[in-house]
Chain A
Amino acid sequence: MLQLISLLVENKPGSLMRITGVLSARGYNIESLTVARTLDPTLSRMTIVVDIEPQLRAQVIKQMNKLVNVLQAADLTDSPAVKREMALLRVRAPLPSRTAILKEAEIFGARVVDSSTEGFALEATGDSEKLDEFIDVMRSYGDIEVTRSGAIAVSLEAKKLRLAPPIPRNAPVDEAGEKLETRP
C-alpha cells in the first residue's frame, strides 16, 4: 500500500536530496513528490507518496525526522487527512465531440483553461482515484496528454502536523513535552 508522508523542512539546497536519500538508499521508488514554500519562506512543505513495507514505515519516518533539515516528518497514511492532486490535460476535440467533452469535464468539476480549434486544455483536481477516472474518460475521446502534480495533503488532526509558521525557536519540546537542553 502506498504511504503518504508529509514533511516540514528547511528551504535549503540539499534538503530534498537528504530526504529522498533515506528512500533511495533502501531502493524505494517515489510515486510522487511535491514541494513548495510555506508561509514562512525559510521552510518548505513536502508531500511524498511512496511504497514502503509496513514493518519499516515507522523506521523510515524516524530516519527522516533525524535529518538536520527536517523539522517534522509525519505519516498521514492512516490518519484523517485531505489529499488532493491536480492534473493538466490536453485533449484533441474535433467539432462533433466538443460538447460531450465539456459535459464530461463538468461532471468531474474540471475547468477549461484553454480552448482552440484543435481541442481543450483542462484542469482537474481531486483525489488520485477521481483523476484516474477522469483521465480514462478523456482518453476515450482520443489522444490526450497529461501532467499530474502528485499528491499534496493536509492533516485534519490538530497534533499531527506542525503548522507553519508558529515554529518554536527558543525552546524546542520533545515528544514527552519536556524542555530540551540547549548548549550552555
Chain B
Amino acid sequence: MSTIPTHRTSAMTESKLMSGSQILLECLVRENVDCIFGYPGGVTLPLYDALYDHPIRHILVRHEQNAAFAAEGYARSTGRVGVCCATSGPGATNLVTGLVDSMMDSIPVVAITGQVSTKLIGSDAFQEADTFGITRSCTKHNFLVKNIAELPQVVHEAFYIASSGRPGPVLVDIPKDVFQAQAHYTPVSSIHLPGYKVFTEGHTGQIRRAAQVIWESQRPFVYAGGGVIAANASDELREFVELTDAPAVTTLMGLGALPAAHPNYISMPGMHGSYAANMGMTHADLLIALGVRFDDRVTGRLAAFAPHAKVIHVDIDPAEIGKNRAADLPIVGDVKRVLEKLTKVLQETASESREQNSAARADWWRQIREWKAEHPLTPEVSTTEIKPQHVMREIDRLSGGRAIVTSDVGQHQMWAAQFIRFDSPRLWINSGGLGAMGFGLPSAIGAQFARPDKLVFSIVGDGGFQMSIPELATIANHALPIKIIVVNNGYLGMVRQWQELFYNNRLSQVELNTFPDAEKLAGAYGFKGRTIENVHQLVPALEEAVREPGPYLLNIRVTPLENVYPMVPAGGAINEMVLGAPQPVEV
C-alpha cells in the first residue's frame, strides 16, 4: 500500500464531476508531469480538447516513435517519469520501439494511448489495434481502462510501477468513451498492488559478507552500470570506490556514474572498451557488479569472462542475479541503499582489514597503470582528413564534461562513449540495450525540454539522422538550441565494419550515397546548418555551432572507412581484443 504524493494539486476542486480526459490530466498534475510528448488522433480528440487550455505542456512531435524517444530523453536526463501519448492503432504501434527501448534500458516512461470505444473493442473498428496485447511484452506493465471509475487508480499505479524498483515503461490504454465519460473525481490516496514486489534494502548479512570479501580481495574491480544512475547512487559509488581504492569501469549505460576524471576510473569495458578495462576484468579476483546485467556486449564469451573472479552482484531485480553469470554473493536491493550500508560496514572494519592486502593491491594498481600505458584509449587524429574520433575529442573539449550528449546507434555511439568524458550522471543519453537507430535526435528534444539550461549535443550518424529528419520541424518549432552533429561517413558504418572484418568486405546495402545538403536542409526549417570536410574547419565549425543561440545542424564528412577499435569480435573473450587497424581476424 502506498500513498500518492500531493505536493502539487491543480485548481480543480475535489469531488467534482469531471470527464475522463480531465481526470487523467488531473492525475498527471498530481504526478508532477509538466510536459507530454505526443501526437493526436481520432480517439484522443476528447483528451486533446481537454489539453487545449490545460497548464500541462504538450509537445507535438512529428512521429509517435519520436514521442516515446523524447519521453525517454526527458526521463534519462532527469530521472523523472517521461510521458508520451498517441492515438489508437497506428499511433500506438508506432510507440512500440520506444517502449522496448525504455524496457531494455530500464527507463521510467508512462505511455498514454487512446483506444476505440469499449463497445467497439474487438470489432476491427477503424484504427483499432490490440494495444494491450501488443505492448504486453514491451512494457513493465500495462493497463486497459474500461471503466472511468478505475482511471485515477490506474494512472497513479502506472507512475508508481514505472518509477519504482527497476524502472521501466508502463502503458495505459484508454478507450474514447472513457475519455468522454463523466465521473465524480476524488483524489486517490493509496494504491494497491499486491503482486508488485520491490526489494530495496539488501540483506544485511550478505552486505557484511561482501565487506569481508572486499577486504580479502587482492585484485578487486568495480563494474558499475546503468542501475547506479537509475538509483541516483553516484555519490555513494564514488565514496565506495575511494574507500576501497578499487579500480572502476562504467558500462555504456553507466557513463557518468563515476566522473571520468576520477583517479580510480578506467573507462568503458566490453566489445569496444579499453584494453585496461577488459584486462582488469579478466585478471580481477573480485568483481563488484553494481546495477549491471552482464550484457553480452560487456562480457564477450561468458565462459572466458572474469575467469578468476568471485562475483558480488548487487541488483534491484532478482531476475538479473545469476541470469548470465552466477553470483558468489548476490545482494538484491537498491544499489544506493546497498552501497550506503556496505560503505558503512567497510568503514567500521577498515582499520583492522585495510592493510591485509595492501602490497597486493599496490601491485594490482601498478599492473592496471601498465595496461593503461600499454594501449591507451587515444583518439585518432589526422592532418588531412577528419577522423570521427577527432570530432569526439573536440566535442569533449567543448563540453568540458558538463554538456548533455545524446547519441544514435553505431560507430559514432562507440566513439562518443570512448572519447567524450562526463563529470556527472544523466548527461550521456543513448540507446544501449536495444540499439535503436533514430534515437539520437528525438531523445535530444526530450532532454533539452527537461534541461533548458544545458548545452545539448545530438551526435548522430548519417543513417540514424535520416530516420529522424522529421523531428527537425519540432526542433525548429520550439527553437531548441540542440547542436546536431552528423558524423557522416556515407555508410551504415558499424554494419560496414562487420562486413569488412567478418564477411570478406562484401559491402552489402550499407552505402548511403545520398545525403541532403545540410545548409539547405536546416535552412528549409529556418535554422543554420553547414557541411564541413576539411580538418581545419572542424574546430571553428563546432565552436560556431555552440555559439549559435538556436539549433545548428553540422554535417561532418569524416573518414569513410574508419573502424572502431579496440574490438572484441562477437563470441570472443574480452581479453582477446583486436586493438587497432586492419589485422587479419579469424572468425
Contacts and interface: CB of A to CB of B under 8 A. Distances in A.
Contacts of A14: 132, 136, 142, 144
B1 A169 contact: yes
Contacts of B198: 180-181
A9 B193 CA distance: 11
Given A13-B144, A21-B137, A68-B196, A176 B319 contact: no
A147 interface: no
Contacts of B137: 21, 25
Contacts of B142: 14
Contacts of B321: 62
A83 interface: no
B423 interface: no
Interface of A is mostly: loop
Contact of A18 (B136, B194, B197): B136
Interface residues of A, number: 35
Contacts, number: 83
A170 B2 CA distance: 9
B317 interface: yes
Given A59-B323, A68-B195, A169-B192, A184 B201 contact: no
Nearest to A173: B197
Nearest to A168: B194
Interface in B192-234: 192-201, 203-206
A176 B161 CA distance: 22
Interface in B300-351: 317-319, 321-323, 332
Interface of A: 9-10, 13-14, 17-18, 21, 25, 42-43, 58-59, 62-63, 65-71, 167, 169-170, 172, 174-176, 178-184
A178 B195 contact: no
B209 to A, nearest CB: 13
Contacts of B205: 176
B361 interface: no
A63 B319 contact: yes
A67 B201 CA distance: 20
Interface of B: 1-3, 5, 132-133, 136-137, 140-142, 144, 160-161, 164, 192-201, 203-206, 317-319, 321-323, 332
Contacts of B332: 174-175
7 contacts: A42-B194, A43-B194, A69-B195, A167-B194, A176-B205, A180-B200, A180-B201
Nearest to B324: A59
B319 A66 contact: yes
Given A69-B195, A174-B197, A182 B204 contact: no
Contacts of A68: 140-141, 161, 193, 195-196
Nearest to A70: B195
A14 B141 CA distance: 10
A175 B202 CA distance: 10
A63 B142 CA distance: 16
A175 B140 CA distance: 22
Contact of A58 (B132, B194, B322): B322
A107 to B, nearest CB: 44
Nearest to B331: A176
Contacts of B5: 183-184
A22 to B, nearest CB: 9
Contact of A169 (B194, B200, B201): B194
Given A68-B140, A176-B204, A184-B5, 5 more contacts: A10-B194, A62-B318, A174-B197, A180-B199, A184-B3
Which of B160, B192, B196, B322 gathers the greatest number of chain A CB atoms within 10 Å? B196
Contact of A17 (B1, B133, B197, B322): B133
Contact of A21 (B2, B136, B199): B136
A174 B132 contact: no
Given A17-B136, A170-B1, A9 B195 contact: yes
A180 B164 CA distance: 12
